[in-house]
Structure 1
Amino acid sequence: MTIQELIDHLKQYPPNTRVVIAGYQQGYNDIQKIIPVTLQLNQHHHGCNGAHRLAPPNLPYPCTTAAIFLGGYNPNCPYSTETHHAL
């Protein structure tokens, strides 16, 4: 999905609608991070991994793709802090 596709989709909803992401095992978390990343697409094929991975810093374009990471964590859990979920 591109930023424009996301914007077009989100325009259907009231501006004060909460946006969440899936929790680690259950539930949902608020988005608390918006981070630009550089990815290698379709690098993971195991079902429990995301399809893409962070690209090494020296890998040239067109082997990489720019993306935006949306992340969050459960602030009510003492073991779930922003520092534990850093890229």
Structure 2
Amino acid sequence: MKVKELMELLAGQPPERRVVLDGFEGGYHDANAAGEIPLVLNVHDVWYYGAHEHAPYGDQEADETAFFIGVKPGINR
């Protein structure tokens, strides 16, 4: 998904609507973190890892900067 697509999806939403993400085995978590992150692309190919990794990764520098939305433990917003 690109930022443009996300903006189009959010455009008609009420500004006070809750944003949630899938829980690990079920349920939903409140999104509590967002921001730019550097990524090395396509480094993992097993199902239990995301395809990309935070840069730097080993000796690899970032391929691009992405926008992260997620859940970080210990952050209350």
What's the TM-score, normalizing by structure 1? 0.68
Partner of 1:5: 5
Q: Any unmatched runs of 5+ in structure 1? A: 74-80
1:26 and 1:48 map into 2 onto residues whose CA distance is 16
Partner of 1:42: 42
Partner of 1:82: 74
1:56 and 1:42 map into 2 onto residues whose CA distance is 13
Moved more, 8-17 or 34-43: 8-17
Q: 1:6-57 CA distances to partner (integer Å, 9 max, x unpaired)?
A: 0012224333332211112211111101121000111110011111111118
Moved more, 15-24 or 32-41: 15-24
TM superposition shift of 1:59: 4.5
Q: Any unmatched runs of 5+ in structure 2? A: none
2:42 and 2:16 map into 1 onto residues whose CA distance is 34
1:51 and 1:22 map into 2 onto residues whose CA distance is 18
**Highest RCO, 1 vs 2 (Cα 8 Å, sep ≥ 6):** 2
Partner of 1:78: none
Question: Residue 6 of structure 1 aligns to a residue in which SS?
Answer: helix
